[in-house]
Amino acid sequence: MPKENSRAATVAGLALAGTGLSHFVAPQIYDDLTKSAFPTNTRQHVYIDGAIETAVGLGIASAKTRKWALIGLAAYGVYMLGNVARNR
């Protein structure tokens, strides 16, 4: 993988990890968004989503784990979209 792509993936992964960590610092920001996927126990799911985003972001930031983290990110996206569709 070219260095430019690797650097961009590292920055994107760290940005995603930072977003995940922000779920713990300011969870109220994510309540309304998370409520569409998880109408009950919303705050608990905000924290779970934050943990998942942090872990996936750190995985993307590392070239050694990037492939598996991207697969995890895709699975997480499908899971979230499925919950939004189910709760509409």
Tell me the per-residue pLDDT of 38-69, one tens digit each, with 9 for 90 and over.
999 999 999 999 999 999 999 999 999 999 99
Number of domains in the chain: 1
Tell me the per-residue pLDDT of 7-41, one tens digit each, with 9 for 90 and over.
999 999 999 999 999 999 999 999 999 999 999 99
pLDDT surpasses 60 at 2: no
* % pLDDT > 90, the chain: 92
Label residue 55 exposed, middle or buried (CB < 10 Å: 0-12, 13-18, 19+). middle
pLDDT surpasses 50 at 1: no
Rounded CA-CA distance 72/78 in Å is 10
Print the domain residue range for 36: 3-86
